[in-house]
Amino acid sequence: MAIARTPRGKWIEEGLRALSAGGPEAVRIESLAQSLGVSKGGFYGYFRNRDALLTEILDTWEREVTENVIERVENGGGDARTKLGRLFTIAGSGDSPMTGTAAELAIRDWARRDETVAERLKRVDNRRMDYLRALFGSFCPDEEDVEVRCLITFSLRIGNHFIAADHGAHTRAEVLELTRKWLLR
């Protein structure tokens, strides 16, 4: 009888969960194996070592938050405003461990201490900003206006979770919707 191996993607997914919860120090082979309910021997069938797993986690995260998100937005069709609306919905949903806020913040924190991760994060952020520029630029003729909208959009994606302020008679969701409408005008 053949023994089923834990798929490579499960190791990466569990590694990202650990990274999101406790930073790169929390990504430990033995802990991951325990979380997956398997022996750590299966790990070495896929990865040379822990560093190889960390690289795969970053590769997968980068692909998910750039090209895969852009593909989802583009596949829905529509004009730039429609695509931006779809992008805002996808970015706000945090529907996957790969694209959620916890992973985003953990990788940003890691980048503060690791130059290689910082370079990768800069590449990811530049790809995201370039895509936003292309979308906003299709209906905003002023380059400065495009850049401001891109920065506000991107800042909200990253920083919204750190803001504890009340919004008077409005809920956070209402203010975010007003911001969305303003950005798409």
As a whole number, mean pLDDT of residues 104-133 equals 97
Rounded to two decimals, the pTM is 0.91
Give residue for tokens 């750190």. 162
> CA distances (Å), 104 to each of 69, 111, 155, 174, in order?
14, 11, 13, 24
Residue 141 lies in a domain: yes
Question: How many CB atoms lie under 10 A from the CB of residue 32?
Answer: 24
| Three-class SS state of 6 | coil
Amino acid at 29: I
Q: What per-residue confidence (pLDDT) applies to 4? A: 57
Question: How many CB atoms lie under 10 A from the CB of residue 152?
Answer: 14
Please give the Cα distance from 26 to 58 (Å, whole number). Answer: 15
Q: What total number of domains does the chain contain?
A: 1
Length of the chain: 185
Q: What is the DSSP letter of 100?
A: S
Residue 2 lies in a domain: no
Residue 1 lies in a domain: no
| Three-class SS state of 142 | coil
Residue 21 lies in a domain: yes
* CATH number, residue 100: 1.10.357.10
Residue 3 lies in a domain: no
Amino acid at 82: T
Q: Flag whether pLDDT at 2 surpasses 50.
A: no
Residue 58: domain span: 8-183
Quick one: angle between helices 8-22 and 101-111, nearest 10? 70
Residue 142 lies in a domain: yes
Give residue for tokens 């089923």. 4
Question: How many CB atoms lie under 10 A from the CB of residue 169?
Answer: 6
Q: pLDDT tens across 15-35, in order? A: 999 999 999 999 999 999 999
Q: What per-residue confidence (pLDDT) applies to 38? A: 92
Q: pLDDT tens across 141-182, in order? A: 999 999 999 999 999 988 988 899 999 999 999 999 999 999
Q: What per-residue confidence (pLDDT) applies to 94? A: 65
| pLDDT band with cut points at 50, 70 and 90 for residue 95 | low
Q: Flag whether pLDDT at 1 surpasses 80.
A: no
Residue 27 lies in a domain: yes
Residue 174 lies in a domain: yes
Contact by Cβ (8 Å): 91, 160: no
